[in-house]
């Protein structure tokens, strides 16, 4: 285990397991819909890659980069699009893939934006859900794990761009981000 990690919450096997379950459900729900599966960069990148390989029905993918954190551990409340989609959303069944829902601001903003762009349907699949810290309402349709209010890294999730490559999800030691 990495020395900056306090505790592992979900190891590779647990992540693979829940991803297979989510993929099976999405396969059923989206049969014959050719959904547009949208990865919210960069955090959801690893989850997206594993999830789509568990979805056994035709789909398309696109990628969007948003920022709300600007390197720290607290949300600033502002959502900014860094890289927009390439695909028009009109009449598409959209499935947003996220790493974690925290305040809910990012997904609340994206769902509104995608509806404004006239998507036929917009659903959310998030690997992690942190319900205690919600500020604006978000209803995730597919959730991997409900997590406690701690700062998590690994499997795509970063602190200042580090730890994304850890194969597990763990709690970051607070001394790593607390400055004296
Ligand atoms: P929200 O807009 O829901 O507050 O936050 C969404 C984004 O904040 C997530 O996609 C993720 O990038 C980041 N985030 C929220 N909680 C955590 C966390 O515990 N660890 C990390 N590394 N990022 C988080
Ligand atoms: Mg994210
Ligand atoms: Mg981040």
What is the reported pLDDT for 78? 76
Q: Which of 17, 16, 55 is nearest to 36 (CA)?
A: 55
What are the residue boundaries of the structural domains of the chain, listed by start? 13-148
The tens digit of pLDDT for each residue in 121-131 reads 999 999 999 99
The tens digit of pLDDT for each residue in 31-40 reads 999 999 999 9
Which CATH number describes the domain made up of 13-148? 3.40.50.2020
The pTM of the full predicted model, rounded to 2 decimals, is: 0.94
In a mutational test of the pocket of ligand 1, which residue from 4, 43, 77 has the highest number of ligand atoms less than 8 Å from its CB? Answer: 43
| CA atoms 170, 174, 175, 179: torsion sign | positive
What is the reported pLDDT for 68? 73
- Interface predicted TM-score of the whole assembly (ipTM), two decimals: 0.96
Dump strand ranges (E) for 11-69: 36-41, 60-67
Whether residue 10 contacts residue 168, with contact meaning beta carbons closer than 8 Å, is answered with yes
In a mutational test of the pocket of ligand 1, which residue from 99, 136, 151, 156 has the highest number of ligand atoms less than 8 Å from its CB? Answer: 99
């Amino acid at each position: 285990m990495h020395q900056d990690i306090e505790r592992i919450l979900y190891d590779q096997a647990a992540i693979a397991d829940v991803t297979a379950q989510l993929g099976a459900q999405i396969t059923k729900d989206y049969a014959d819909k050719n959904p547009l599966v949208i990865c919210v960069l960069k955090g959801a990148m690893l989850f997206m890659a594993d999830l789509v390989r568990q979805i056994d029905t035709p789909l398309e993918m696109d990628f969007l980069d948003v920022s709300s954190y600007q390197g720290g551990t607290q949300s600033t409340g502002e959502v900014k699009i860094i890289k927009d989609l390439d695909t028009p959303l009109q009449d598409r069944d959209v499935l947003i893939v996220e790493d974690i829902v925290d305040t809910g601001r990012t997904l609340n903003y994206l769902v509104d934006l995608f509806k404004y762009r006239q998507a036929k349907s917009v659903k959310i699949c998030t690997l992690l859900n942190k319900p205690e810290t919600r500020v604006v309402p978000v209803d995730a349709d597919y959730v991997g794990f409900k997590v406690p209010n701690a700062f998590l890294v690994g499997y795509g999730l970063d602190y200042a761009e580090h730890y994304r490559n850890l194969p597990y999800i763990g709690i970051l030691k607070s001394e790593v981000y607390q400055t004296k």
